[in-house]
Amino acid sequence: MPSDDRSSDEGRLSTVLVLEPDILVRMIISDYLRDCGFKVVEGVTADDAVAVLESGQKIDIIFAEVQLSGSMDGFGLAQWVREKQPDIDMILTAGIARAAEKVRDLCDEGPLEKPYHPQEVVRRINILLERRRTAPKA
């Protein structure tokens, strides 16, 4: 298991919102992230993400599949998050190659292609958290 600090600036565990329509994929990556010390909230649709964010729950990173059902797909959600909660970082993942360019516009780190290795997800999350920790305060 990686041994980096999993706490946020405020000392609480960093929270990752995992949005994945496939229950088995979602279960595995969520379980892995919890084992790595993150708090994980699991969702299936972009509407789930909106419900969680509008409830006031603090989310640090959203890790989302591009192909989500509901009122928005992963791209739409990334745009919504950028407008409404720009302090939240997003990592998008997709099993389709053509998603790559569009994802690149919405995520600094580019897309994470499926099948991904859970360790790669943790690496990406840590890059984003570290970037936020070291960013000059506005």
Partner 1 sequence: MLNAVKSRAEDEARQPAILVVEDEVLIRSAVAEYLRIAGNLVVEAANAVEAIAVFAAGVPIDVVFSDIHMPGTTDGLSLARWVCDHHPGTRVVLTSGNADAARAAEVAEIFFPKPYRTAEVAMRIRSLLAKVRHRGS
Which residues contact residue 12 at a Cβ distance below 8 angstroms, ignoring those fewer than 6 apart?
A: 39, 58
Site for partner 1, residues 6 to 25, rule: CB under 8 A: 23-24
Of the two residues 34 and 104, which places its CB atom closer to partner 1 in the complex? Answer: 34
27 touches partner 1 (CB under 8 A):
yes
Spatial separation of the C-alpha atoms in residues 20 and 28, rounded to whole Å: 11
We find the least distance from the C-beta atom of residue 42 to partner 1, in angstroms, to be: 5
Spatial separation of the C-alpha atoms in residues 136 and 46, rounded to whole Å: 30
Alpha helices in 44-115 (DSSP H): 46-54, 74-84, 99-106
Parallel, antiparallel, or unpaired: how do β-strands 61-65 and 39-43 relate? unpaired
Judged by CB under 8 A, the residue of 9, 31, 108, 130 near partner 1 is 31
We find the least distance from the C-beta atom of residue 46 to partner 1, in angstroms, to be: 11
Of the two residues 84 and 117, which places its CB atom closer to partner 1 in the complex? Answer: 117
Spatial separation of the C-alpha atoms in residues 36 and 20, rounded to whole Å: 19
Of the two residues 7 and 69, which places its CB atom closer to partner 1 in the complex? Answer: 69
Binding site for partner 1 (CB under 8 A): 23-24, 26-28, 30-32, 34, 39, 41-44, 48, 51-52, 55, 118
